[in-house]
Chains A and B, each alone.
Chain A
């Protein structure tokens, strides 16, 4: 195992991805204000030094518990939040630099988002046709008249909503959860987006239709669309995504090839996550890894040490004072932990 410094790690990520289309996130830091005070305002650090990349035609999964900063990553990439520090690059261009000037429309044409709640992500007062027309009107100005309709029906067919014409005339409440999520995917596709940030796209769907949506996304991935797949469920992350990053309290604690991360987890938190996956036939309480019961820390800009120290079964004194550096454990598998 060779210890890598922060800088070489970032460099390696960048050099990997030059050439083809990609999203790169380097050392992303986001602070949220906790109060509205004029002086001595308190901040929490929602993301701390997060780096990852998504290539076209590949999926990167972010796994972690609620509040670990997965959605914040996605929303920052859509410019819904402003990063405190760090660089976000789309095809090598800095998304937030004032010099390069990527307009919101330009960004929207490349990066789209799918939300968790299929009941909340479609406006209840508009028909599916209206919801689909808007992205086409904004991002495909060359299409006119009947061409818009044909293009829209084509996309609805492609996501498996046939007969498309009847579906287009319906209101969201007339569709099932799975169908709505397909409409949300169709809407993201309609802009011609190269990257889709899927924020827990299947967690609110019936178990029986989850696989259908996952397979649809896998088909789109094969057609060259890059995914950021955010999930609680490390099993679907392995099923769908080539690479997986495990997040805890705004830090990426372990990342790399999905098979390697899930089959050979090195970080105690990843081990805990995997042991929490329910399995048919396993007795309750016989989980292999036992974490200590402790509160999840509120990370502040001046917090020190490893964020998982309070719950870690392998904790040492060093963990409370120092952030562990990155260790490479396999060709594409990195861990931030002292206890390896």
Chain B
């Protein structure tokens, strides 16, 4: 069991890679805490449980909002929605980017021309203003619509990156060999090309996740999301509209902001480590450590003799 290739791969990935370990710890902690929000925080995030703007205390770990709701409970429950939106949007983005990028790269010619002109059109739209206009136009929209809007408007860069990678793989001789073998086009794409793009797709998925998290928070903060649903974005929106900082209730603003920063930072750390796989030139990892150890050993031996 210990020699299974997946386990071998994970061991190699994590050994001496502090960024990867830290990133995994942060991301999994945030995900687990949000998933078990109702167990960890007993208070209903939408119910008034205390007086307004109570500072953090033993009873209310992270204080209360202006309307007397438990911030700790809100940040955990809000995390559920925010993370769902981030992951959902990233999933949509990646799926479209893979479909468009791989098809354009593999089939080439007319298909490529059509798909790439579509991609370029999407690419020249300024993203955030487009999101704001769409969200404003659709009214105060729920998290599902926000995930859709983010997902459908941000796949263009990914598609271009995947297309160029597909082009690089497409002219390798093993693809020609598969064609000469009589493999079907779809099998070539799914089984021969796609596994070669995995590392870049995973790295991109994490990058998109961070972007979607920020975009969701941004839209929520601007009041374009449904303010009755608790997310990290709407928490910031309420804190801002109740002038939390001005009245000295810093926790109301800092808590959701920190949550976003911590989760985004965790993903970025993971992303960096995955980048080292797809681009080994970035890799330092355990080699520097090994080199230092060898150096001290050699110096110790020299000192002896």
Name 18 A/B residue pairs within 8 A (Cβ), A-sorted: A80-B179, A109-B182, A111-B180, A112-B180, A113-B176, A113-B180, A115-B173, A117-B173, A120-B173, A121-B174, A121-B176, A123-B195, A125-B195, A125-B196, A126-B195, A134-B178, A184-B177, A187-B181
- B91-116 residues at the A interface, CB under 8 angstroms: none
Cβ contacts under 8 Å, A139 to chain B: 182
Question: From residue A80, how far is it (CB to closest CB) to chain B in Å?
Answer: 7
The reply to whether B182 and A105 form a contact with Cβ atoms under 8 Å apart is yes
Interface check B44, CB cutoff 8 A: no
- With A104-B182, A108-B182: A124-B196 Cβ-Cβ less than 8 Å: yes
As a 0/1 sequence over residues 105 to 149 of chain A, the CB contacts with chain B under 8 angstroms (1 = contact) are 101110111011100111111100000001100110000000000
Interface check A10, CB cutoff 8 A: no
**Which residues of chain B have a CB within 8 Å of any CB of chain A?**
172-174, 176-183, 191-192, 195-196, 198
| Complex: chain B residue closest to A116, CB-CB | B173
As a 0/1 sequence over residues 91 to 113 of chain A, the CB contacts with chain B under 8 angstroms (1 = contact) are 00000000000001101110111
Most buried by A among B174, B192, B196: B174
The reply to whether B181 and A135 form a contact with Cβ atoms under 8 Å apart is yes
Within the assembled complex, what's the spacing in Å between the Cα atoms of A113 and B176? 9
Chain B interface secondary structure, helix, strand, loop or mixed? helix
Cβ contacts under 8 Å, B174 to chain A: 120-123
Cβ contacts under 8 Å, A107 to chain B: 182
Interface check A191, CB cutoff 8 A: yes
Cβ contacts under 8 Å, B196 to chain A: 123-125
Interface check A78, CB cutoff 8 A: yes
Cβ contacts under 8 Å, B191 to chain A: 126
The reply to whether A121 and B173 form a contact with Cβ atoms under 8 Å apart is yes
Cβ contacts under 8 Å, B182 to chain A: 104-105, 107-109, 138-139
| Complex: chain A residue closest to B197, CB-CB | A125
- A202-247 residues at the B interface, CB under 8 angstroms: none
The reply to whether B181 and A108 form a contact with Cβ atoms under 8 Å apart is yes
Within the assembled complex, what's the spacing in Å between the Cα atoms of A92 and B173? 29
| Complex: chain A residue closest to B196, CB-CB | A125
Within the assembled complex, what's the spacing in Å between the Cα atoms of A101 and B176? 22
| Complex: chain B residue closest to A125, CB-CB | B195
Within the assembled complex, what's the spacing in Å between the Cα atoms of A125 and B175? 13
Cβ contacts under 8 Å, A123 to chain B: 174, 178, 192, 195-196
